[in-house]
Chain A
């Protein structure tokens, strides 16, 4: 199986030169995206066959590439197969979307060659089974996505976004390099099998956890390492934004799971506290940042940060249960986290596609310039609404199921003996509930301001519905949101081999439960049936409509809006994105963002307009990054003098450095 998957990746890499040759031809787009679509679907089929197939043994391949004494090891086990499926589902959807969407690209030569390379990089990270191939694939993925972020490099913000992304990606890879160095140990066992065979000592494992959190967390967008994400993800073309937010962050999550659950040995009790605290803070901070945005794509990127937090809460709970020898509860928490990985990749891709369709139709990402699009783009509006409801964790869609499972895992945690966790877990539960409620508020804003109301600009008023292929990609994902919401048992059961391999237990089989309910622990404890809830809602809504239309009235009259008798025809009198968020900004923003509102009223008699200015400060940037940046800048200025020495000074510098090093060597015991 793994050989087939590698052939798929090779085909993707092989289209790169084809794409370069055909960069200006009009056939380049259908060929590149068409082949990417076919290969992604094939890889998805391979992953699903491995995940659902009965064969327990992982399939292994060693290629004579890379370091001469090591070779390139690849392995397809249950965990890799699950993430391969998530990655390639997202890639297939993005390729289908791009078949239509890519038509509007001004510079296809800047996108087409890097796109298949990006897909191949993500697939290879998941397949890699030694440190060297993992890191090479990881860098391949980072750099090709960086090139895609820089596709529209003449937009001034994009260059800055690309620069910050490059710095953070290099920093993350450095942390991962050190992680694998520690795991390999002095013997240099760089294959994952060697690392698994010799787990690190407790002190080293602690360093591995921290470095893995930095390395994978900076790619996934854990607060406070998230700063590049909301800049870089929106800068790329929309199908690439969807891939970066929906899929590449999942590859980073894969890296975390692989290192922490698989390679680093038995977890210590305090690991879970670090992961839980980071997850809870990330979830709430992500959604609060998102609420303050009025750029649609940036809002979605911040929601990726939030959802990564929710995923890490699940993983933190799983680590806690695993460390205290409660494998069943660990299986529940890990399943919740992994299910949210899948769910998030589906609805986040869908939402970015929708944002891309809006961007194409209007040329606007700023919600303050949109509005009323539901009339001009009804089908896009419908699928975007499904995505909004799913990400807001509303039943009967899929986002609710994984958050519900996380809540169930939290309710099992009083049995944990550690006192620190007894304090932390309820607080994290409150943070999770808060982030879910705020996410719903944020998506009321995102959908309401973009699609509802009256158009705020002529561009929004003249929008056209997007093309059929893009719509098809969004419809498929919207359908998946519903299916995963009403039949979650299927997805939970297919995760069982992954969870079994990582924590040594699995959730109860959901397949035979009556009425297709899901029962995480025992039926007396909790159960949920999305299908019945969905059917009940459809029936009762339909009954109400039928009864009213038959028995009462079905007449309808159109009239101007009422608005308490004072309707104003100007669309700027509507609530905007920032006015919608104003109450929440006052409640949470004054503390978190030091939000200040300043009103400038002209003196009486002056006809100048009054102005309301809102100041927000990003404290994480100010406290953490600005000092580092200014420190590096100051050091560079200081060291700049070294560039202007005479040749004698340079020679004496080299000589004294040599003498110094020899002295150190001589004194070293």
Chain B
């Protein structure tokens, strides 16, 4: 019985993230438009875009290889598996032990590896510029993320997300310097990883500063739909990660009843809305930076993460 409930919760989470991800993207777009005094597209516009893209023909370049056609599925699968293992409304998911936080980061790394390869497949200069800048950003963002994981793992004594959340929700945590540093670093990494302003601009096309959009330029139809969905899932993953680690209130425990699950789900939706709102506010209040300023931005995140880890090596109470 318990197993069936666990399985249902795990399945519900997988479906929930899939359904909520475009909504979050739409919400951020809407909020940004409102900040800019525009009316903006409706909230459900990303769903309509996905449906429209799915129905269209794929227009494939003559010299695109089999890998180019496989990669959207690979990227989507890796991202979906990663986001399914992050606690959203309930900790202790059935399969949460199959990959800890390091493995989740590495799964996202797999998705990026293949996406960057896709940028090089057709042999256009836009694809190349996107891929080469993406791996440059990743080469700093990934170690910064690992340092953040180290900080949290040293505090909680575990790299399992469920155990981490269980520790962070307990009253013994309190305010800590290392947690503050890790939070700032995590937000910086999340902005870079999701190609948001000031690192990259998700709304532009035909601009030399674009990174993610340049990489996926040759994609169309259902392939593009999958890649867009994966990008939305990744945004949801990072917002959920920040929410469950630094705002774990309301999240249901592993043995929670239906009422607690409902509270958890409501709290989760609230946290997503707050996260999306803050992201939109941040994006509208800052200008995009030059590409070669990004390493400094991410280098700062890496140093903050390293500093937090160092503090914890000297004293677990910092």
Q: A residues bordering B, Cβ < 8 Å?
A: 371-372, 374-375, 378, 381, 385, 389, 392-395, 400, 404, 407-408, 410-411, 413-414, 422-423, 425-427, 429-430, 433-434, 436-438, 440-441, 443-445, 447-449, 452-454, 515, 517, 523-529, 532-533, 536-538, 540-541, 544-545, 548, 551-564, 567-568, 571, 573-575, 579-584, 586-587
A583–B291 CB distance below 8 A = yes
Q: A533-B98, A540-B80, A574-B124 are in contact. Are A563 and B217 (CB under 8 A)?
A: yes
B77–A541 CB distance below 8 A = yes
Residue of A nearest to B84 (CB): A536
B125 at interface by CB-CB < 8 Å: yes
A89 to B125, alpha carbons, bound, how many Å?
A: 42
B147–A440 CB distance below 8 A = no
A393 to B127, alpha carbons, bound, how many Å?
A: 24
Task: Collect the chain B residues with CB atoms within 8 Å of residue A532's CB.
Answer: 95, 98-99
Q: A429-B146, A452-B123 are in contact. Are A414 and B312 (CB under 8 A)?
A: yes
A524–B54 CB distance below 8 A = no
B143 at interface by CB-CB < 8 Å: yes
B65 at interface by CB-CB < 8 Å: yes
Question: Which of these, A440, A548, A575, contacts B129 with CB under 8 Å?
Answer: A575
B206–A564 CB distance below 8 A = yes
Residue of B nearest to A532 (CB): B98
B218–A561 CB distance below 8 A = yes
Min CB distance A564 to B, Å, is: 6
A393 to B206, alpha carbons, bound, how many Å?
A: 34
Question: Which of these, A527, A533, A541, contacts B74 with CB under 8 Å?
Answer: A541
Task: Collect the chain A residues with CB atoms within 8 Å of residue B127's CB.
Answer: 563, 575
B154–A414 CB distance below 8 A = yes
A498 to B243, alpha carbons, bound, how many Å?
A: 44
A413 to B310, alpha carbons, bound, how many Å?
A: 12
B158–A525 CB distance below 8 A = yes
Min CB distance A530 to B, Å, is: 9
B62–A558 CB distance below 8 A = yes
Task: Collect the chain A residues with CB atoms within 8 Å of residue B316's CB.
Answer: 414
A395 to B102, alpha carbons, bound, how many Å?
A: 10
Question: Which of these, B61, B63, B295, contacts A562 with CB under 8 Å?
Answer: B61
Min CB distance B177 to A, Å, is: 15
Question: Interface SS of chain B: helix, strand, loop or mixed?
Answer: helix
A452–B121 CB distance below 8 A = yes
Interface size on B, as a range, is 35 or more
Min CB distance B233 to A, Å, is: 11
Question: Interface SS of chain A: helix, strand, loop or mixed?
Answer: helix
Min CB distance B15 to A, Å, is: 12
B40 at interface by CB-CB < 8 Å: no
Min CB distance A152 to B, Å, is: 31
A553 to B225, alpha carbons, bound, how many Å?
A: 12
Residue of A nearest to B314 (CB): A422
The 0/1 profile, CB within 8 Å of A marked 1, for residues 55-67 of chain B is: 1111111110111
Q: Identify which of residues 139-160 in chain B touch chain A, using a CB-to-CB cut-off of 8 Å.
A: 139-143, 146-147, 150, 153-154, 157-160
Task: Collect the chain A residues with CB atoms within 8 Å of residue B273's CB.
Answer: none
Task: Collect the chain A residues with CB atoms within 8 Å of residue B99's CB.
Answer: 395, 528-529, 532-533
Residue of B nearest to A404 (CB): B102
B142–A433 CB distance below 8 A = yes
A582–B132 CB distance below 8 A = yes
Task: Collect the chain A residues with CB atoms within 8 Å of residue B251's CB.
Answer: none
Q: Identify which of residues 273-318 in chain B touch chain A, using a CB-to-CB cut-off of 8 Å.
A: 291-292, 295, 302, 305-306, 309-310, 312-314, 316
Min CB distance B219 to A, Å, is: 9
- Besides A448-B119, A587-B140, 4 more A-B contacts (Cβ < 8 Å) are A394-B106, A444-B116, A540-B80, A564-B126
The 0/1 profile, CB within 8 Å of A marked 1, for residues 226-266 of chain B is: 10000000000000000000000000000000000000000
Task: Collect the chain A residues with CB atoms within 8 Å of residue B159's CB.
Answer: 407-408, 411, 525-526
A571–B126 CB distance below 8 A = no
B138–A548 CB distance below 8 A = no
